[in-house]
Structure 1
Amino acid sequence: MSLSTFPGRLALLSSALVMAWPLIAGAQTEPAAKDAEAQEPEKLGTVVIQARGRTETLQSVPMSVKAFSAKAIEDAGIRKPGDFVAITPNLSLAETQSVGTSFMTIRGLSQVRNGEAPMAVVVDGVIQSDAKQFTQELFDVQSIEVLRGPQGALYGRNASGGAILIRTKQPGNRFGGFGQLTLGTGGEKVLQGALSGALVEDRLFFRLAGSVTDREGYFDNPGLGRKADSYRDETLRGLLTWNVTSALTLDLRTNFVRDRAGGGNFQYQPTHLKADCTADEANAFDFTRLDPNVASRIFCANNMGRNTRDMDEVTIKADYDLGFATLTGVASHNKINEYLSGDQFPYTATRNLFGMFDGTQSQFVDTRSDSVEVRLTSPTRKGLRWMGGLYGLRTQRFISTTTGSDLGKGVDFISYDPAFSSATNPTLSWFADHNRNTASAVFGNVDYDLSPKVEASLALRYDRDEREQRVDTRQSVGVPAGCSGANPSACTKTATYSAMQPKISLRYKADDGSLSYASLGKGFRSGQFNQSGVGAAAAGASPPVNGVKDQIGAETTNSFELGYKTLLLGGALQLNTAVFKTEVKNAPYFVFIGSVGAQVLVPLDKVSLTGGEIEAVAHLGSGLDAYAGLGVTHSEIKAYEVNPAAVGKQAPYVPKVSANLGAQYRFAISPGLNLTLRGDLMLKGKQYWDPENSLARGDITLLNLRVALGDAKGRWSAALSVNNATNKLYNAEWVSGGFTAPALPRIVRLDLRHNF
């Protein structure tokens, strides 16, 4: 399916309103008007969220939450998940390798390459079944909520670090929409838009939203004379809402994504490069050059990286009001297909360095999943509130990883079959397997008001994850003994992971704006298989990598949290704080073995995490708001069988500090014209990349700026934004051994938007 002809474009940037909201806010009501005679401070708006599956205010929920409303999303210029992560304390995100690859760290729990995410991502009430779905374009979005701390009792087996709830804009009776054109550096052109209205008044509604992004890229490959990171995204979303009766509502949601991009762009620091991008064979490997703080925006691979991602989703949701409760059923089908190919270690324009280095590599992943959830939710009222339900997920995944001989004729497209006899790019190594996973869960939670000021909550979820891996008999190495086409049972491995995830919370609400809470919860991240045979390949690598196995066990966490939320200065200052202590068993860590193109996971047996967040939003005057956030996470490895010498070191991929500071000023320059000025300063703290803490990337400070002009009625706007305004050069990822990928440079964008 080609999406290149569908119309329109919506945008995620423009000018506007109170800046308090981008940091904490998802404000649903306007700030109270200031009484000029009384000179009372203007209050911040009420923030309405759905963190516990029902409508509540931010200041009443006993958990650490950062929320963004639709207006806050526009004000902050949020286009991709990395944008809201950057201004959320104790979150970090690295995006490298491919459009579907990202590494989230939340309160010290990290996502690693080929691993499960440490948080659940829920879009319009549907849990994403694959981490590759996360890095989509964010447009036509109504709200985003980031829940920090274990949420497995409510959101499932991978929510040990938290959950991210995304809600798209919903249709109503009024016909309308918007279109936005964006022009930016890197040859970027973006068109987004949406149409929404009623097909039958009060009964049947529709919303259609689309986005097309076309970008030449930001990074050069002088050896090939091309940009290394071209990107084209086509996304089309549709929503039908049918009020069948006063009690029954049906939603049909579709989402189609087609991505075509550069990918597999890595650099290898020890290699000296000549001006023509070839390797200096007289000084090919200089390991004194290893430094996470040294970055380059030049790529020299002789094979252009190629990356495609296709995603199709169809979801049906039904809500039926039974009077005493609401019965909700959700069924979702997803197809995800991603392909990545490119040059191999050491990523230079030289082919077959010393007759043994260089080549090609590729990976193909085809995933199909079906999920069903049924839940019963009581009305939101004083006294007793409850929810209970069942969840099921069935996933089929095929994955192949290939290395090939570089004959200078390009890279073969390798998916389900190797090409050992290819005349252009013969396959050298081939790892492939078919996976069938079945996950099921039963869950429930009860909130009970012990008194008008005290609430006790108990949430409980039992998850069971059954996994099966069937190795392709044509695999180069690592085929199980006896495995053959005539004996497929010998090719199959099975494993079952399960856990009970309880969470207990106690909340004391002193008044409408202040509360204290304590919670204790357990998290569970399912184990998984590495590709069969990578353990042997790792042991035989040069140098060998010990401790790699074909299977990694489940991660479990035990977390304790204390929090306090309050409104001060008559409601003009909002202050929310939380501290936590988490003990982690079997935390996954990624190891890349360049000489064999292997990407594998090993466990950190025990890790201790201690930290907290403090966030403040202040209304300083008419149209002027400021906000600040600070997150701290101290990590310590307590046990690591692969390398006991790493005990006492910091956990990899965990910044010790993350912080943001910003302000927004909105004022009228004429009776019908408003101007908005905004600045965001973000700090990414020092972090290590391996358990041995061999080298660290230092603190990174980034500055985003934005100015927007719009009419007072919100019909049109023009906005100029600059991300990474100082053009800070740093690495988005640094893998032990010197494999690097640079972060994005300064990006300037102009948005022109019309609402109708």
Structure 2
Amino acid sequence: MKQTILLLFLLITTLSFSQITVSGNVIDNNGEPIAGANVIVKGTSKGVISDFNGNFQISTTSNNTILEFSFLGFENQEVKVDGKSRIDIILIESLESLNEVTIQGFSGVIGKSRKRTENIQTTAESVTALNSEGIESAGITDVSSFSALVPNLKFNSAQAVGLNFITVRGIPQVRGGDAPLAFVIDGVTIPDPSLLSQELYDLALVEVVKGPQGALYGKNAIGGAINIYTKEPTNKMSNRVKFGVGNGGNLQAQFVSSGAIKEDKVFYRFSTQYKNFDGLLTNEFLDKKVDFSEDFNIRGQIKARVTNNFTIGATFQHFNIDGGATYYSVNPIGTDGEFTGGVLNPNPSEGDNVIVSDVLGRSDMKNNYGNIKMDYNLKGANLQSITSFNKVDRSTIGDLDFLELDGLTQGEEITTKTFNQELRLSNTNTDTKFDWSLGGFYQNIKKNVYQNGTTGVDFGGPDAYDTADYVNETNTIALFGFGDYKITDKLTFSAGFRYDIDKFSQVDDLFVTSSERDNNEFQPKVSLSYQASKKVLLYANYGRGYRNGGYNADLTDLFNREFDDETSDNYEFGFKTTTWNDRLIFNGSVFSSKLTNQQQYILDLNTFIAGVYNYDETKVFGFEFETRARLTNYLDVFASFGSSDAEIVEGGTTGGTDGTTTDNSNYNGNKTPFVPVSTFGIGLESSFNITDSVKFNGFINLDTTGKTYYHESNLAKHTTDAYSLLDARIGFSYKNWKLDFWGKNLTDKQYYQEFSPGEFVGSPDDVAWRGRPLSIGTAISLRF
């Protein structure tokens, strides 16, 4: 096997030597990268587009080749290759072309969902993406704010800093388990799902690709992937400072600096941000705010062009987040004022749905992350090495009974260390019908978990107890490959695979056990796309995804000692259209998924142990649509709708102490919990010059989350109705200054991010995690 792969590498590189590969960067006069600039071999139709950081790479067979650079609103430029392996271009604005009416939306968004630079309107995947301008206009600061713009995607948080619940296309994330989406920053897989909580800033791209993406992103990409790319170091010096304030004691300060240490050779980028928030939700018993947070983030990047064919870069990031924790409200009531009958009502009333715990919960998360990237141009192929490490420390302390009583408390300390190494060889020859990439991957994850608690005097204490003390370790070796073949100018066949070899182990010091198991998983992907016309793309995909299983702290009546690996087989048909002189975009897809061993979570208060269990089989059928229209030169309207019908086909049985098991087959035919049955969004975006020096930008979005079942029983009293959140942002720019005003949940809607029914976990009370109320603020920034 090793010899075969080596021979394949040698064959590909040998065949590539006749190619001349030219790379470079396209920027505007302010030094900002231009995403989607056309780079064409003059006199042909062969070309590429620049990525979200303005980078491009194109191959040719002659030094006499002339490259044409063009982008809407800028003057065209021509450059002769003449032996150059690198060409950097500054495009100058053209006032004439700026007067044209052309959509500014999906058609101009450049993504990297298939690990290569593509316009998302020509990508045979269900993709939602924003480049840097869209990110700034929409006010994207975290995964949650971006998920509001993506159909069939929902992001919630609860319990403590770093505890997230992300649901995509009917596949939910569970406590103690991995996210159903791969999380990738600057091409590096981030395996710890708690890091989805981090603040996002100084970004070049935010992108979500849906459907199983195991062939491209590996395990846990069972429902898709989130791609985030930060802005790269630049050759031209630029700096930006930003200060902001808001209600709830919201304070923000940000600084970004980029430039050349040695012109054209070594570049840096430094960014840092501090945010503080006093909170808006009140503990009625302690008379204190509970949703407070403090966040410090610092990131440094350096990139060097060692030769024209070899670049090396390094990144280091540290952040520290402190925040409130365990502030659950107690006993939410039904809309008819009774526990039976109506669905859950998030509006607090006297004695119901209020936060009254006697302990002020606190949590924190610290992260240290670094990577080293090396890229070597092999004349027709690119060899890339990415080495990364990641350490996350999380801790939580707070109430467990969530009442005024001196009852139960909980504590948790988790440390996760990850090492990744990836080697990837990719085609850079643009004069071919076959595009390909292949490589290998190694990952080691070591996770230490310690959980404890106390019993207070009102519960027969004081006593202290431990509920978990174990170390999980996962070692993964993977081989992968992906290729596109143009059967005709319009028809393209794509296929890929990833083969994961996983080894899991657990050493449990509390229950004095040691466990090991292996799992090998083949994740194929097949795609057929048809470019019916220049503006219409049809595609069909099949993909298999895989989310690894693991070990619970102990066997209980509600779950086993071990939970199984989860797999998904997904079939999808989609279309992408651009009409009305590029002023209207309408994309859609229909999908069907079969999931085996889908994972769910529950807390057993009889033993104070939390665990994950499996359904034998579930299925999901759904569809989604996205559209954007340019009504005038100054106004865009956009909308999206998603539907996910997620059903338990066979719940199976789980757990078993003293012969007692839990029969989840009682829920066969019911809806999968934590999955909104639909999502809907609609909004407006506007941008125009008020004067020659003053520019206006506005963005407003109404995000609706459909009915959500919070337990397999699907009882109405454990179900929330649809709710809508209204967010808006307006900005005024003057030369290098910008003033923004923003608002989130402008109607001050009461809603839940999580709900736990007491009757199924051994508690007399139901508890819920309330969403954040109305938040408003303003910020001023300066570029220099």
User: Which category describes the TM-score, using the shorter chain as reference length?
Assistant: 0.7 to 0.9
Within 5 Å, give how 1:519-668 maps onto structure 2.
519-531=541-553, 533=554, 535-536=555-556, 539=557, 546=558, 548-641=559-652, 642-668=663-689
**Could you say if the C-alpha distance between residues 743 and 244 of structure 1 is closer, same or farther in structure 2, counting changes exceeding 3 Å?**
same
* Counterpart residue identity of residue 476, structure 2: A
Aligned to 2:344: 292
Q: Which residue of 2 aligns with 1:116?
A: 178
The counterpart of 1:710, out of the listed 716, 733, 736, is 733
C-alpha deviation, 1:622, in angstroms: 1.4
Is the CA contact (8 Å cut-off) linking 1:26 and 1:72 kept in structure 2? no
Question: Which deviations, in whole Å up to 9, do the C-alpha atoms of 1:489-531 show, x marking residues without a partner?
Answer: xx21112222100000011112332210111111111111111
Instruction: Determine if contact 1:27/1:48 at 8 Å carries over to the other structure.
Output: no
1:673-709 deviation digits (Å, cap 9, x = unpaired): 1222321111100110111212311001111122211
- Structure 1: gaps spanning 5 or more residues: 1-16, 18-24, 273-285, 352-357, 409-423, 484-490, 540-545
**Equivalent pair of 2:330/2:354 in contact (CA under 8 Å):** no
Instruction: Give the drift of 1:289.
Output: 10
Q: Is it true that 1:517 corresponds to 2:517 in the alignment?
A: no
Q: CA deviation at 1:671?
A: 2.5
Distance in 2 separating the partners of 1:36 and 1:116: 51
- Give yes or no for contact 1:317–1:331 (8 Å, CA) kept in 2: yes
1:723 CA displacement: 0.5
Q: Distance in 2 between matches of 1:736 and 1:27?
A: 47
In 2, the alpha carbon distance for the partners of 1:75 and 1:684 equals 23
What is the CA distance between 1:724 and its match in structure 2?
0.5
CA distance in 2, matches of 1:227, 1:380: 58
Q: Which residue matches 2:216?
A: 154
- CA deviation string 1:546-568 (max 9, x = no partner): 4x101100001110011111110
Equivalent residue, structure 2, for 1:332: 388
Who is 2:426 aligned against? Answer: 377
Partner of 1:42: 102
**Is 2:332–2:346's contact at 8 Å kept on the other side of the alignment?**
no
Change (3 A) 1:26 1:563: farther
* C-alpha distance in structure 1 between counterparts of 2:499 and 2:420, whole Å: 17
Q: Distance in 2 between matches of 1:467 and 1:667?
A: 56
Question: Does the CA-based 8 Å contact 1:219-1:298 persist in structure 2?
Answer: no
Per the TM alignment, residue 136 of structure 1 is displaced from its structure 2 partner at its CA by: 0.5
TM-superposed CA distance for 1:287, in Å, is 5.8
Cα distance in structure 1, aligned partners of 2:423 and 2:238:
33
1:127 aligns with 2:189: yes
Can you list the C-alpha shifts for 1:112-136, whole angstroms capped at 9, x where unaligned? 1111111101100100021111110
TM-score normalized with structure 1 length: 0.85
The answer as to 2:543 corresponding to 1:505 is no
- Give CA deviations for 1:603-656 in whole Å, capped at 9, x if unaligned: 121111011111111111111111111111111110001321211111111111
- 3-state SS in 2 of match to 1:570: coil
Q: Secondary structure at the match of 1:142?
A: strand
Superposed CA deviations along residues 198-225 of structure 1, whole A, max 9, x for unmatched, are: 0001111000100111111111113223
Check whether the contact 1:42–1:621 (CA below 8 A) recurs between aligned residues: no
CA contact (8 A) 1:295 1:731 kept: no
Question: Which of 487, 490, 501 in structure 2 is aligned with 1:450?
Answer: 487
Name whichever of 160-169 and 297-306 sits farther off: 297-306
For 2:240 and 2:271, the matched residues in 1 are separated by 9
Distance 1:685 1:293 in 2: 14
Asked if 1:360 is matched to 2:415, the reply is no
Return the TM-score normalized by structure 2.
Answer: 0.82
CA offset at residue 426 of structure 1?
Answer: 4.5
What corresponds to 1:194 in structure 2?
256
| 1:232 to 2:294 alignment | yes
What is residue 404 of structure 2 aligned with on the other side?
349
Q: Which amino acid aligns with 1:456?
A: F
1:724 is aligned to 2:724: no
Secondary structure of the 1:510 match is: strand
Displacement after TM superposition at 1:260 (Å): 1.2
Q: Find the aligned partners of 1:518 and 1:600 in 2 and give their Cα distance.
A: 37
Between stretches 430-439 and 653-662, larger displacement belongs to 430-439
Identity %: 29
Q: Deviations over 1:702-731 (max 9, x none)?
A: 1112221112x4x11111111100000111
| Rounded Cα–Cα distance in structure 2 between residues aligned with 1:269 and 1:388 | 54
- In the aligned structure 1, how far is the partner of 2:640 from the partner of 2:751? 23
CA contact (8 A) 1:151 1:160 kept: yes
Report the more deviating stretch, 493-502 or 43-52. Answer: 43-52
Looking at structure 1, the residues matched to 140 and 109 of structure 2 have their Cα atoms a distance apart, in angstroms, of: 19
After superposition, the C-alpha distances for 1:323-363 in whole angstroms (9 at most, x for unaligned) are 13101111111111100110111x11222xxxxxx221111
2:773 to 729, 733, 745: 745
Rate the CA distance shift 1:250–1:230 in 2: closer, same or farther, 3 A: same
Distance across 1 between alignment mates of 2:340 and 2:591: 39
For the aligned residues, what is the CA RMSD?
Answer: 2.4
Residue in 1 that maps onto 2:198: 136
Q: What number of residue pairs does the alignment pair up?
A: 671
Contact 1:528 1:551 survives alignment (8 Å): yes
Distance 2:72 2:641 in 1: 25
Report the Cα distance in structure 1 between the residues aligned to 2:539 and 2:634, rounded to whole angstroms: 32
Superposition deviation, residue 291 in structure 1: 5.2
* 1:60 Cα deviation from its structure 2 partner: 1.2
Q: Residues 724 and 380 (structure 1 numbering): CA distance in 2 closer, same or farther, change over 3 Å?
A: farther
Structure 2: 5+ residue stretches without partners: 1-33, 35-50, 55-69, 75-93, 653-662, 759-765
Which residue is equivalent to 1:101? 163
Matched with 1:172 is: 234
| CA distance in structure 2 between the partners assigned to 1:30 and 1:654 by the alignment | 42
What displacement does 1:598 show? 2.4
Structure 2: distance between partners of 1:404 and 1:295: 31
Matches of 2:201 and 2:499, distance apart in 1? 34
Contact 1:506–1:518 at 8 Å: present in 2 too? yes
CA contact (8 A) 1:462 1:501 kept: yes
The separation in 2 between residues aligned to 1:95 and 1:372, in whole angstroms, is 30
Name the CA distance, whole Å, in 1 between partners of 2:209 and 2:580: 26
**Helix, strand or coil for the counterpart of 2:384?**
strand
SS in 2 for 1:133: helix
- Secondary structure of the corresponding residue to residue 348 of structure 1: coil
Task: Give the corresponding residue for 1:698.
Answer: 721
> Is the Cα–Cα contact under 8 Å of residues 577 and 612 in structure 1 kept in the other structure?
yes
Alpha-carbon distance in 2 for matches of 1:294, 1:724: 15
1:249 deviation in Å?
A: 0.7
Distance 1:43 1:669 in 2: 20
Higher relative contact order, chain-length normalized (CA < 8 Å, sep 6+): 1
1:47, distance to aligned residue in structure 2 (A): 2.1
Matched letter for residue 671 of structure 1: D
Instruction: Write the distance in 2 (CA, Å) between the matches of 1:697 and 1:706.
Output: 28
C-alpha distance in structure 2 between counterparts of 1:437 and 1:235, whole Å: 28
| TM superposition shift of 1:290 | 9.1
Whether the 8 Å contact between 2:53 and 2:232 is mirrored in structure 1 is no
Amino acid at match of 1:406: G
Partner-residue secondary structure (3-state), 2:146: helix
The reply on whether 1:675 has 2:696 as its aligned counterpart is yes
C-alpha deviation, 1:265, in angstroms? 1.7
Q: Give the Å deviation of 1:739.
A: 1.9
- Conserved? CA contact 1:292–1:731, under 8 Å: no
Tell me the distance in 2 between the aligned counterparts of 1:301 and 1:748: 28
Name the SS for the 2:581 alignment partner: helix
Mark the CA change 1:216 to 1:582 in structure 2 (over 3 Å): closer, same or farther: same
**Where in structure 1 do 4 or more consecutive aligned residues deviate above 6 Å?**
25-30, 33-37
